[in-house]
Amino acid sequence: MQRVVSKIEIDFSFQKSLFIQTLLVSMVIGTGGYLISLIPKVGVVGFLILFVVYFMPTLVAFDLLSSYQKEYKIEKLLHPKRFFILILNVAFGLTVIGWLALLAFAFKPGSNGRCWGLRCG
């Protein structure tokens, strides 16, 4: 049986600047996707873009971008409640307040234990 080499608990704070950047980029890309969806014959591309923007909170929760990777020297950080965010995103993502709340929640993973080694026990 193999043991954990090391395990640390990190409290990740809310990434305000990254949240605002993602919000602004989502607004611009979403507007572009909407305008593209109005064009005949290429409108499907616009709907695909809107689909990606709709699931942005879920995408953030499943891999919290590279800002954590550089700062904490970790490979990947998965939000501890990523499946909860996915379910709520499907249920309430079309409401602006629900989408914003989920995006903010995705950028605040809280305390997260990380294991380095072959087995986490």
- What secondary structure, in 3-state letters, does 95-118 show? CHHHHHHHHHHHCCCEEEEEEEEC
Element (H, E) at 7: strand 4-12
This prediction has a pTM of: 0.76
Element (H, E) at 5: strand 4-12
Q: What are phi and psi of 101, to 5 degrees?
A: -65, -40
Each residue of 70-116: pLDDT tens digit? 666 666 667 788 899 999 999 998 899 999 999 999 888 766 555 44
Find where tokens 């979403």 sit.
Answer: 30
Mean local confidence (pLDDT), 38-42: 92
8 A C-beta contact, residue 45 and residue 36: yes
Find where tokens 């995705």 sit.
Answer: 106
- Crossing angle of the two packed helices 82-92 and 96-106, in degrees rounded to 10: 170
